[in-house]
Amino acid sequence: MQGERIHRYAVATRISHWLWVIAFGALVSSGLQIFNAAPFLDASNTTNTAHHLFALPQPADGSPAVPGWLTIPSYRDLADGRRWHLFFAWIMVICGVTWLISSAIKGNLRELFRSEHGVYNLPQRLSYIVVIFVIAPIIVLSGLALSPGMDAIAHPLTWVFGGRQFARLWHFAGMLALVGFFLVHIFQVLTHGVFNQLNSMITGWYRREA
């Protein structure tokens, strides 16, 4: 018995979703490449060389702290890691802002806040709201706070995160939270009718269970 077909995702949502998948992979991998240049975190404005809050162990053979199979490029290259990161940061932001505006205009955003008879259940709505309105802004703003040029334009931006090194910590923690969301999200998709889910994120049409 076939279930009812519903149009679940707008075209802007579908395009943004897959662009985000690419940008997310590029940003995490290139971010870890950048992190390898200073694989430690401090909860202060400046680096606390005497005692870091957190530091990855540096392998004795001189290989990077985060292994190459997790970084872009796979060999050590801070310059190229930055090239990837600063490019895909723009893709992520342009895509995110476009999606947000188009969803707000078309009213799709309301689905996230609708409590009854909505497309999404409560845990879904909560996690999407936290990712879109809490973690994503923290990631973008804490990343910008690392820029000396941005800091010169707006001191409060770096200040609210507790300084430049603290902003690195926020940026890193935000990344871990997004990776956690990603793992749960993939698990959910794979265990709740993966082909129906994938199909709906490509064509927009989702078949409700009969």
Partner 1 sequence: MKRRLFVASTIATALSACSPIGTALNDNAAFHNLLGSAQALNHLVIGTRGMAKEYRERDISPDFPIDSLPTPTDARYADLAADGFANYKLVVDGAVERRTVFPLAMLERMCNMTQITRHDCVEGWSVIAKWSGVRLGSVLDIVQPRSDARYVVFHCMDKDDQGTPYYESLDLHQARHPQTILAMRMNDAPITPDHGAPVRLKVPTQLGYKSAKWVARIEVVGSYANLYAGSGGYWEDQGYEWYAGI
Could you give the 3-state DSSP secondary structure of residue 79? helix
Q: 2 to 21, contacts with partner 1 by CB under 8 A?
A: none
CA 57 to chain centre: 25
Which residue from 149, 195, 209, 210 is in contact with partner 1, where contact means CB under 8 A? Answer: 149
151 binds partner 1 (CB under 8 A): yes
> Residues 179-184: contacts with CB within 8 Å, 24+ apart?
179/28, 181/127, 181/131, 181/135, 182/24, 184/127
131 binds partner 1 (CB under 8 A): no
- CA 49 → CA 19, 35, 40, 54, distances in Å? 38, 16, 10, 11
Per CB under 8 A, the segment of 55-63, 95-103, 129-137, 162-170 that binds partner 1 is 162-170
Smallest separation (angstroms) from partner 1 to the CB of 118: 26
Sites of contact with partner 1 (CB under 8 A):
25-26, 28-30, 34-35, 37-38, 45-47, 49-50, 68-75, 77-80, 82-84, 86-87, 89-90, 146-155, 158, 163-165, 168, 183, 186-187, 190-191
